[in-house]
Amino acid sequence: MNESVVLDVKNLKSHFFTAKGEVPAVDGVSIQVPAGKIIGIVGESGCGKSMTAMSIMGLLRYPGRVVDGTITLDGRDITHLKPKELSQVRGNELSMIFQEPMTSLNPVYPVGVQVREAILLHQKTTKAEAKQRVLDIFQAVGIPEPEKRYYNYPHQLSGGLRQRVMIGMAMVCRPKVMIADEPTTALDVTIEAQILRLMKRLCAEQGTSIILITHNMGVVAEICDYVYVMYAGKVMEQAETFELFEHTKHPYTQGLLKSIPRLDEKADRLYTIEGVVPNLLHLPKGCSFCTRCDQAQERCFTEKPGLYAAADGHGVRCLKYESGVKMDGE
């Protein structure tokens, strides 16, 4: 990626310290987010996508913590900011849409008041001006009758409207980067399409970069400019979206794509990747995917692969591509 990078995550490691041992939930992840672009992080449940987002946001709580790596936002290292300093960054320069808006919104306050508080917390303005900005952002995200919805409580709104409120709250301070963690999981396909179009439009209009966390490869193909595929806390493959789908390299990514039902193919049963994501306390000695890989060789069980450059901007964590140069952060 040659564009100006607004968020640069290098060799991020976040571990959980439990009674059974140290769990490497995020194990050396490096991500670059260019200004005004949509970056996808994709993978199965339990692969470390959300933990990566929580680490970037500084929201990890005991027994988890960031043990290594750097997080640079617009040239400023925010990795180990004090809570008060970090609270000024979150919501203002760096925001997040959580997976389930019903549990993210306070049930005892009107949604408009909650969005207004985000403005008052980070920017110097009057309550009247802040309210008008809330009404403007509600209109921008497609919420009908903004004045009426301003005083609605979360339980009075549909799932789609609640998600629009969350997007409005995340975008109202015009952050540099917005992280969206499975923002359409609980929505039907019609509302999902509307929300994705909305995010893409706001990204273009406000210049905000978006990190989209999802397990849905179709969503990635729809709106992402660049994709990181994660497995067991590591990035297994990364490339521009078209390059990733047209020239898929890693067996894990190939398996994810083959698991998607196709209308032009008839099959007795859907393809599945055998097995499950390994216990992070007992990872294989070699490649973390070797026990599930249908292309694994003997050395895959004993040698850990680096992230190799298989093509310009296309990185693959697989020994088949070890002739390529190791990418930055490896």
pLDDT band at 98 (very low <50, low <70, confident <90, very high): confident
Q: Please indicate, yes or no, whether residues 27 and 107 belong to a single structural domain of this protein.
A: yes
Q: How many domains does the chain have?
A: 2
Q: Are residues 80 and 225 in the same domain?
A: yes
Do 218 and 306 lie in a common domain?
no
HEC secondary structure over 235-279: EEEEEEHHHHHHCCCCHHHHHHHHCCCCCCCCCCCCCCCCCCCCC
Residue 246 lies in a domain: no
Q: At what angle do helices 189-206 and 159-171 cross, to 10 degrees?
A: 10
3-state helix, strand, coil in the chain (%, to 5): 35, 25, 40
Same domain, 226 and 320: no
Note whether residue 247 is domain-resident: no
Backbone angles phi, psi at 221, to 5 degrees: -65, -30
Give percent of the chain above pLDDT 90. 59
pLDDT number for residue 186: 67
Task: Give tens-digit pLDDT for 128-169.
Answer: 999 999 999 998 888 899 999 999 999 999 888 888 898 888
The reported pLDDT for the residue numbered 159 is 83
Average pLDDT of every residue of the chain: 89
Q: Are 225 and 38 contacting, i.e. CB atoms less than 8 angstroms apart?
A: yes
* End-to-end Cα, the chain, rounded Å: 17
Positive or negative: CA dihedral 151, 153, 154, 157? negative
pTM: 0.91
Do 319 and 217 belong to one domain?
no
Mean pLDDT, residues 170-196 taken together? 83
CATH classification of the domain holding 115: 3.40.50.300
> For residue 163, what are the domain limits?
5-231
Lowest mean pLDDT among 203-212, 237-246, 260-269, 291-300: 260-269
Q: Which two tokens stand for residue 242?
A: 């078209």
Position 193 scores a pLDDT of 82
Residue at 138 is within a domain:
yes
